[in-house]
Amino acid sequence: MFTCRVNEHITIRLLEPKDAERIAELIIENQQRLGEWLFWAEKPSSAEMYRETIIPDWRREYADLNSIEAGLLYDGSLCGMIGLHHLDQINRKAEIGYWLAKEYEGKGIMTAACRTIITYAFEELGLNRVALCAAVGNHKSRAIPMRLGFQEEGIARDGLFVNGKYHDLVYYSLLKREWKELK
């Protein structure tokens, strides 16, 4: 199954049903800040729902090469998630998504994990384009594509509806040839 070692502290791996309690706990602990930008965090799912339905669905999506929804571990402890969504083998593209528990912010975890998953997308999956979108006001999420050399493509007005209000979304992309130049 999918596992990527980012460095001596960080690992990316598919979640297993045994991770259900921890992932549900992390989302609840970080619900206020995650729910500001991520619709699914407004009403978190139970550990049972993760164990019985969500994680098995993510594993099927991976087996079918439709997406990679992976846990992010720091020194062996689950601290967030990263993934490649909407994997499109015909057009060789995907969209990256991520979130991190507050207590792990500021350690460079997400930037390093994104760098690894982008390399995996280009080198192992043969993709040509990785995209990312973030709400205009989500400055922490927007800093990552800027650090990694993504190009801003534009803004989707009212592209996100969370907590009863609309947010504009900024779209970014990175092409394989650009990534090679940055390495």
Q: Which domain holds residue 68?
A: 3-182
- The contacts found for 25-31 with CB under 8 angstroms, 24 or more apart, are 26/78, 26/79, 26/80, 26/101, 29/101, 30/99, 30/101, 30/102
Q: What is the CATH number of the domain that holds 165?
A: 3.40.630.30
Number of domains in the chain: 1
Tokens 């669905």 label which residue?
A: 57
CA distance 78 to 62: 19
Tens of pLDDT along the chain (183 residues) come to: 799 999 999 999 999 999 999 999 999 999 999 999 998 888 889 999 999 999 999 999 999 999 999 999 999 999 999 999 999 999 999 999 999 999 999 999 999 999 999 999 999 999 999 999 999 999 999 999 999 999 999 999 999 999 899 999 999 999 999 998 886
CA distance 68 to 84: 5
CB 55 within 8 A of CB 20: yes
pTM above 0.85, yes or no: yes
